[in-house]
Structure 1
Amino acid sequence: MKRKDKILQNRIFLVLIIFFVLFLFNYMNKKNFQETVESDSFKTVECSMRYAEKYLMSLNNAEQEGQIIFQPDVSVILVSKGNTFELNKLVTDQEHSRYVQTEFLSIGKGKDLLNIPQTKANQYALKDDNHQLRTFIALSSKVGDDVLIVSKNVSHYKTFIKNSELLFLGLLIASIIMITIYTIHQRRYFYSPIEELTDLAYEYSENNFSHHKETTSNDMIGHLETAINKLGKVLETNSLMNKRERELMTHIYDSLDIGIIYVTKENIVFPFNVEGKDYYTAFIKSDDQEKRIKDSYRKLIHEAIVNKKNSHMEVQQNHLIYDLEFSPVASLTGVVIFIKDITSAKQLLSIREDLITNVSHDLRTPLATIQGYSEAIKDDIAETIQEKNEMAQIIHEEASQMNHMITRLLEVSSIKAGESTVNKKPVHLAEFFNGVMHRFSQTLKSEGIQCELEIAYNISYFSMDADKMHRVFYNLIDNAIKYAADPRTRESRFIKITVNFDGLIDELFVTVSDNGIGISKESIPYIFERFYKDDKARTKPKTNGSGIGLSIVENIIKEHSGTISVKSLPDVGTCFMIRLPLLDDTIE
């Protein structure tokens, strides 16, 4: 905030008053002179014109002889047959008479005066050949074929005005000089200490406490200096406390996973945190700088302020879904907008609905089979022992499938709850992976899919939980088979497992790749979420899984302090990449 000098303001105000008084005096004096001189001059010219007209008419009618006497400051010119004559033999301003005859009547305004007689006198201000300003009053009249021009020089009026202005300017300069001298004197002995204290107070208002004012006297100025110093210390203490509180609040706001924006009634926007600023810039800010906010949000803000009730809306932006809550603040006449990314929540809801549908379907099918075959056995539809044994075997297989599904669901829950334990032991990698692949030997053969294993020379054993890691690679290979490409679109279909050890960072790197149908780009961020299924790119009639396999895989990898990532292109293939750190274990 810029400090205002009240002393200077007072002096300027005083100068303005003096200027106004002098201006008023000059204006009234000039006006009085103008009214007096111009009135007399106009009357003199018009009166002289009447005398001149009578005189000229009497001469034309041969009724009168002799000369009429005009006032000496009036020029009476007769224009007859292109010649000009001065009728006032007593005229004192011969120069003015000469100017009218030789110069004025030859220019445009003078010619207009000759050609168009005037009923009233007019004032003219023109420069002569010597560039001197001439001000005069003139009137023309036509008598027969002749023209009378009566004029009076009033240039002295302009001279008086100029002298008045110079006098006014001189008085003004003198007043300014006197006031300036007085102000300098007062400032030096009284106002300078107050000005320094004022500057110090403004520094304190800007949280600058690096200066203080030493007490120079024991008078009121000295007491004021002491009070300002004490005030500065108190403000400095409070400022430090407020700064810490603001930093804490800013940290709290920025740590929230929601964006917070405050909008005033005039649509002035104040983002409370980084998320709020980003969201405002992304989809709330209007391209129109005057509006600041898009019309759809302006309406909801207005309604929230008027109705004093919270309102909600959902916005979809760049494949993400946001929930906006408009909460009015009555004391501030504004609205706080809370913006939350609810994409995951929406997806989770959809996933849960899919889970209910999938699990219901997966359970209903074996249950229907069990019910059908059990009723067949009960009703003695199966006539032979062999037929009954076959039905019992089918019932057993369907029950085992249901038990396997429930076990996987319980396994995910136990891992999420932290109830699962990891039993690491050195595992021979070649035997381990060959064992996993062997479980799929019949399926791979019937599907015509080649499965390859490649293990680096510098790694044979690695410490891990063999049972859990078996489930990891079982799931990955099982998925690769389920989502293998159509044989008609590939010359050969393959699954390849590569195992490498990076000695520089002590990390086991395993990849499981295939040339299957791939995963859509939109689904890759969510494939490790529970119950998620990629319905866009990986939809096949025989895949009715519950969508928890990859979630189990990720959690087991995390239990081993590792990471898993995926690269995939639709209709090209998929590659899962697993990294497992060595930690304190040993390898051979």
Structure 2
Amino acid sequence: MKLSSFFRTIQVKLVIIYLLLILVAMQVIGVYFISTVKQSLITNFTSNLKEQSDILAKFAAPSLSPHVEAEADSTDSTTEDLNLVVRNLFSISGTEVQVLDFNGRIIATSLQVHQSNIGKKNRSLAVSRALQNISDNEQEIMDDDHIRKKVIAQPVVYNDKVVGAVYVVASMTELYETVSRVNQIFISGIFIALTMTGLLGVVLAHTITSPIKGLTKQAEAVAEGNFDLQAPVLGDDEIGRLSMAFNDMTVRLKEALSINEEEKEKLVSILSNMSDGVLAADEQGEIIVWNQRALELLQIKKCEGMQLSELLSITPHKLNELMQARGQTYIVTGDDEADGDDVKEPGMLRLTFNPIHRRETGIVGMIAVIQDVTEQEKLEQSRKQFVANVSHELRTPLTTIKSYAEALQDGALEEEQLAERFVGVISNETERMIRLVTDLLHLSRLDSNTSSLRKQRINLHDMLDEVADRFSFQLHQKSIQTYVSVERGLKTAWLDRDQIDQVLDNLMSNAIKYTLDGGAIYLSAKRSALISDLQISVQDTGIGIPRKDLSKIFERFYRVDKARSRNMGGTGLGLSIAREIVKAHGGSISLDSVLNEGTTVTMNLPLLQEGGDRA
């Protein structure tokens, strides 16, 4: 692996490219050069042989003439003379030269070993062509000893008549040895050139790859998050400008990542501290971004990879409709939750959808903002219910007053007993409306914090005794026993006596109303488990309240048994006023009841010393 990775480096590739270029160039040059040298040597060799053969042909022409031969005493002297000339002329080169007459018989030869061939006929094609006065007769042959030879046959012309031929067979061994030596010299030159090129290529490749290695090192550092390294700038060439550009890019990338990180921190901080939930989904509807508030509102632990339509219980078709425009809203109502015997009202979530647009692409995702509007809806419903209850509470006595007034106008006034009863009813209904309006005004002052508290030191035992005394007549009528108890050591507290008396009167009145004859009511005051709080409770043995009504008992105009409560003269605001008064004191009020067993209302009030300091 290391060897293969080494050969994949740029430096090795550059050296190999240099070597291949030099090798190809030298090969082309070598082939051309050696071919040219070889061709030149062959041409010179052939030309030399032709010149020698021409000289011999001119010299032998008179001797080969038939006229000369006829006049001669014998042919032996002619043959001997030609052999002598041929041997002397071509003895150095070792070339075989034959002189032939016009019949193709060998007259003379340059080789001593071939003297026996004199008088024999040379039947080669070149000789036949030369005797036909064809001058261009040359060829290369390979003899039995695998020696390449050059064959030339020249006609011998005397008085424009072919009288014979000169046949030359020359060995080309020295010529090809010369070519081979040149080839070896050239190959040695190639190896020397490749070696020098390799060494020079390593040096030159190093000058190129060194800054590239620096850039690679910096790129690896940048990939690991280190932006402090700078690539070396070794010149003003392309690599130098690349290094400068890379350094500038590193600085800009560092700044961009810093800004991006800062924006990301801002986004995370914003999302984490938003009171609304945020969900972001891609174009496939898969959730990619969310905040903790969204998980809390949807009552889930994680939503990564979930589909937005599945998470929000919205059909894909409806979700696609909501994606088409900005600010589309959708209300989701949760399921009812059972907590023991209580059933909690379902929460309501308002979803606001905004599509994510990308230039030249269109919608690539969606952002859903989740708001818990349960309390808003409850307040709206409470407001509507309050208006309806006030209207109803006022309408009933007004209708009664109007009916009895009309009856008096129609003649009932003339009947004394009937008139008195009607006037009494009108008076009672008027007082009922006055109590209702008074309670509403009192609640309004408590809501607006315009009803200031006038706290003073109150003896708790005296206060509870006075409450029992104020209702002694009603208690006596129903034979209800009253028990007052104050914890030992607990004597006084700083309270607004009038306000607390109003709360206790209301609680006492309710206890008497819903306690059957012969029952009991317990008034007690003690320190709570927090020691610094005062706990005042009113407990009865009455009919109790159903568990399903306990969570709403302090709501305005709420009645467990509406018809019975109204007949008993209640306005439905007593417990609401009691709660607001206790809250104004900085305390809390709670109610616990068991149906047909009794009810206990407990107030927890701050136990203050004189001057407002805690006990």
Q: Which moved more, 1:502-511 or 1:316-325?
A: 502-511
SS of structure 2 residue aligned to 1:452: strand
Picking from 264, 276, 279, the partner of 1:261 is: 279
Map 1:276-287 → 2, pairs under 5 A: 276-282=294-300
Equivalent of residue 564 in structure 2, options 542, 546, 549: 542
Q: CA deviation at 1:269?
A: 1.6
Of 525, 535, 554, which aligns to 1:499?
A: 525
**Structure 1 position 232, deviation (Å):** 6.3
Q: Which has the higher mean CA deviation after the structures are superposed, 397-406 or 218-227?
A: 218-227
Aligned with residue 553 of structure 1, among 557, 574, 578: 578
The answer for the alignment partner of 1:234 in structure 2 is 255
Contact 1:305 1:333 in 2 (8 A): no
Q: Which amino acid aligns with 1:550?
A: L
Kindly state the Cα deviation for residue 524 of structure 1 after the two structures are TM-superposed: 3.9
Does residue 371 of structure 1 match 2:402?
yes
**What amino acid maps onto 2:527 in structure 1?**
F
The structural deviation recorded for 1:226 is 5.1
Whole-Å separation in 2 of the counterparts to 1:187 and 1:549: 94
Give the distance between the partners of 2:471 and 2:538, measured in 1 at CA.
15
Q: How does 1:52-201 map to 2 (within 5 A)?
A: 189-201=210-222
Letter in 2 for 1:259: G
Residue in structure 2 matched with residue 579 of structure 1 by the alignment:
604
Q: How many angstroms apart in 1 are the aligned matches of 2:367 and 2:311?
A: 14
Name the CA shift for 1:503/1:361 in 2 (closer, same or farther; >3 Å).
closer
User: How many angstroms does 1:422 deviate by?
Assistant: 0.8
Which of 394-403 and 362-371 deviates more?
362-371
> What is the TM-score of this pair, normalised by structure 2?
0.54
* Residues 324 and 337 in structure 1, CA contact (< 8 A), matched pair in contact too: no
Structure 1: any 5+ residue segments left out of the alignment?
Answer: 1-6, 19-180
Q: Show the counterpart of 1:249.
A: 270
Please give the alpha-carbon distance, in whole angstroms, between the structure 2 residues aligned to 1:406 and 1:421.
20
Shift of 1:425: 1.3
Aligned to 2:330: 312
Residue 395 in structure 1 maps to residue 417 in structure 2: no
2:293 is matched with which residue?
Answer: 275
Q: Deviation at 1:329?
A: 1.0
Mean CA deviation greater in 286-295 or 191-200: 286-295
User: Which residue number in structure 1 is paired with residue 316 of structure 2?
Assistant: 298
| 1:424 shift after superposition | 0.8
- Could you tell me how far apart the structure 2 residues matched to 1:522 and 1:376 are? 43
Cα 1:236–1:515 change in 2 (3 A) is farther
Deviations 1:72-113 (A, max 9, x none): xxxxxxxxxxxxxxxxxxxxxxxxxxxxxxxxxxxxxxxxxx
> CA separation in 2, counterparts of 1:425 and 1:314?
51
Amino acid at match of 1:556: I
Are the counterparts in 2 of residues 495 and 514 from structure 1 also a CA contact under 8 Å?
yes
Could you report, residue by residue, the CA deviation over 1:133-168 in whole angstroms, capped at 9, with x for unpaired residues? xxxxxxxxxxxxxxxxxxxxxxxxxxxxxxxxxxxx
TM-score, normalising length: structure 1? 0.56
Q: 1:355 to 1:309 in 2, by over 3 A?
A: closer
Residue in structure 2 matched with residue 452 of structure 1 by the alignment? 483
SS at match of 1:320: coil
**CA 1:306–1:504 in structure 2 vs 1: closer, same or farther (change >3 Å)?**
closer
Does residue 1:472 correspond to 2:503, yes or no? Answer: yes
C-alpha spacing 1:291/1:239, structure 2 compared with 1 (3 Å):
closer
SS state at 2:285 partner: coil
Distance 1:196 1:510, change over 3 A: farther
**Would the alpha carbon gap of residues 265 and 225 (structure 1) be closer, same or farther in structure 2, given more than 3 Å must change?**
closer
The 2-side partners of 1:447 and 1:562 are apart by 32
Distance 1:505 1:476 in 2: 24
Distance apart, 1:498 and its partner CA: 1.4
Q: Which of 425, 448, 452 is matched with 1:421 structurally?
A: 452
Q: 1:393 and 1:499 mapped to 2: Cα distance?
A: 41
Residues 454-496 of structure 1: per-residue CA shift (max 9 Å, x gap): 1112122221111111222222233334444x77xxxx64332
**Structure 1 CA distance for aligned equivalents of residues 233 and 327 of structure 2:** 61
Q: Report how far residue 509 of structure 1 moved.
A: 1.4
- Encode CA deviations 1:13-71: one digit per residue, 9 max, x unaligned: x99xx9xxxxxxxxxxxxxxxxxxxxxxxxxxxxxxxxxxxxxxxxxxxxxxxxxxxxx
Distance 1:215 1:316, change over 3 A: closer
* 1:343 Cα deviation after fit: 3.5
Q: Output the CA distance in 2 between the equivalents of 1:291 and 1:410.
A: 49
Contact 1:265 1:333 in 2 (8 A): yes
SS of the aligned residue for 1:541 comes to helix
Q: Indicate conservation of the 8 Å contact 1:507/1:582, yes or no.
A: yes
1:430 deviates by 2.4
In the TM superposition, what whole-angstrom CA distance separates every residue of 1:375-397 from its partner, at most 9, and x where no partner exists? 45555634577775565444333
Q: Determine if contact 2:542/2:597 at 8 Å carries over to the other structure.
A: yes
Matches of 1:249 and 1:581, distance apart in 2 = 38
Mapping 1:2-81, distance limit 5 Å: none
Q: Note the C-alpha offset of 1:229.
A: 6.3
CA contact (8 A) 1:359 1:546 kept: no
2:536 counterpart residue number: 510
> How many Å separate the matches in 1 of 2:318 and 2:8?
51
CA contact (8 A) 1:453 1:498 kept: yes
**Structure 1 residue 250, shift from structure 2 partner:** 2.2
Higher CA-based Rg: 2
**Shift in Å, 1:217:** 5.7
Shift of 1:566: 3.2
Looking at structure 1, the residues matched to 302 and 479 of structure 2 have their Cα atoms a distance apart, in angstroms, of: 55
Query: Which of 587, 600, 612 matches 1:562?
Result: 587
Deviations 1:346-403 (CA, angstroms, capped at 9, x unpaired) = 4444444544454344333332443344445555634577775565444333212111
The answer to whether structure 1 residue 213 and structure 2 residue 238 are counterparts is: no
Number of equivalences = 399
Closer/same/farther in 2, CA of residues 540 and 280 from structure 1, 3 Å limit: closer
Counterparts in 2 of 1:477 and 1:200: CA distance versus 1, 3 Å: farther
Of stretches 305-314 and 280-289 in structure 1, the one that deviates more from structure 2 is 280-289
What SS is found at the alignment partner of 2:334?
Answer: strand
Partner of 1:321: 347
Deviation of residue 213 (structure 1)?
1.8
- For 1:569 and 1:275, how far apart are their aligned partners in 2? 38
SS in 1 for 2:278: strand
Range with bigger deviation, 504-513 or 226-235: 226-235
Q: Matched residues in 2 for 1:385 and 1:467: separation?
A: 41
Counterpart Cα distance in 2 of 1:10 and 1:437: 104
Aligned alpha-carbon RMSD (Å): 4.4
| Separation in 1, partners of 2:334, 2:221 | 53
CA distance in 1, matches of 2:469, 2:506: 14
- Name the residue aligned to 1:110: none
| 2:587–2:606 contact (8 Å) kept in structure 1 | yes
Separation in 1, partners of 2:208, 2:460: 93
C-alpha displacement at 1:447, in angstroms? 4.2
312-321 or 292-301: bigger deviation: 292-301
Shift of 1:298: 2.9
Q: Which moved more, 1:184-193 or 1:507-516?
A: 184-193
Is the partner of 2:575 in helix, strand or coil? helix
8 Å Cα contact 2:218/2:231 also seen in 1? no
Matched, 1:337 2:368: yes
**Cα drift, residue 10 of structure 1:** 7.0
Secondary structure of 1:543's aligned partner? helix
> Distance between the aligned counterparts of 1:245 and 1:290, measured in 2?
25
Letter in 1 for 2:456: K
Distance 1:453 1:298 in 2: 66
- Whole-Å Cα distance in 2 between the matches of residues 8 and 302 of structure 1? 56
